[in-house]
Amino acid sequence: MKRVLPLVFVFAFSAPALAQTVDSQGAKQLSDSLARYFGKQAFDSGVVKVSVEGDAYKVVVDIKALVNALPEEKSLKFDLAPYALTVKPRSDGSWDVASDFSQRMSFEFNGPEGPQSMQLAVKDGKGTAVYDPNLAAFTSGASSMAGMTMTSREAKQQADVTAGAGTATIAATKSANGGVDFTATQKVSSFVETIKVDDPDSGMNFPLTLKAPELSVDAKGKGVRTKPLLDLLAFAVANEDEAKLKANQAELKTLLQAALPVWERIDGNYGFKDFEVESPVGKFGATQFSAAFGMDGVSQNGKVDYAIKASGLTIPRQMLP
């Protein structure tokens, strides 16, 4: 799992640009390059596959097959269809990336307090992006979905989440001081989350419903060391054996130093418009509710910021003095 999940997310295409002609030789080169970061075994076992599809390459990741192959995960029931990405080399050395992430996922396992489960479904999820191997980042990208549902069940709590149409964007450029600067946005409509808590041990038994016609997320980063982080990932894959890891401590130290401070600064903000919380004591609300966070990279004088803001507050009448 630790090798495949990065492929699906941030480090999807860390291979160098290939020749523009798409053929079986190029598919093998792409497989060999990606294997540096995710291990050759993932390709040999069919968990990750690269093939030619028209004028592009198709990368398929079968996470379910990986989970089923792990002996320690026999108690986990996991269901997820293989995830596919289509990638095409561009004349400038970058990649066109496209995916359909309409998916249904579920898992179930026995936790310390009993059975736990989650189901997630994304409707009409589509995305396109341009990936630059020299930056190890998506220089532009956009995605959309028609809706999403999620349910989770635990012994003492259950949650149901629904959301309507949503969009997201990402952009990245080379940072002046090294690394990558990025911005990312996301907007989701008709967000509703219902939580039910039933804990006999503590006596807590209540429902909560959170609603917002619009949920937005904005994030930006400065000087993110994407390339050195990829090098660290490749080192971890190549040095899984404890003896090799001990023998290559000098190389590891050099790679760690190159990756510092990991990033110069990352900031993000979650915003809820016309936010409502329905509780047993009444309805709370805010015309605008936001939670902002920020974090410096690794440094002697780094700082972490967090702030919550609300405007247009309303509280249940019975709680007023």
Q: Which residues pair with 224 in a beta bridge?
A: 180
Annotate 196-220 with DSSP letters as a single string. Answer: EEEETTTTEEEEEEEEEEEEEEEEE
Distance CA 156, CA 111 (A): 12
pLDDT tens digits, one per residue of 216-229: 999 999 999 999 99
Calculate the average pLDDT of the chain. Answer: 89
Task: Give yes or no for residue 311 having a pLDDT over 90.
Answer: yes
When pLDDT is averaged across residues 228-254 and rounded to a whole number, the result is 93
**CB-based contact 57:31 (threshold 8 Å):** no
- Buried-exposed string 127-145: b where 16+ CB fall within 10 A, e elsewhere: bebbbbbebbbbbebebeb
Band (67; pLDDT cuts 50, 70, 90): confident
- Mean pLDDT within 3-24: 53
The residue-averaged pLDDT of 25-47 equals 87
Span 153-164, pLDDT tens digits: 998 999 999 999
Mean pLDDT of 75-88: 88
Strand partners, 95: 89, 131
Check if the beta carbon of residue 66 is closer than 8 Å to that of residue 7. Answer: no
Note the pLDDT of residue 278: 94
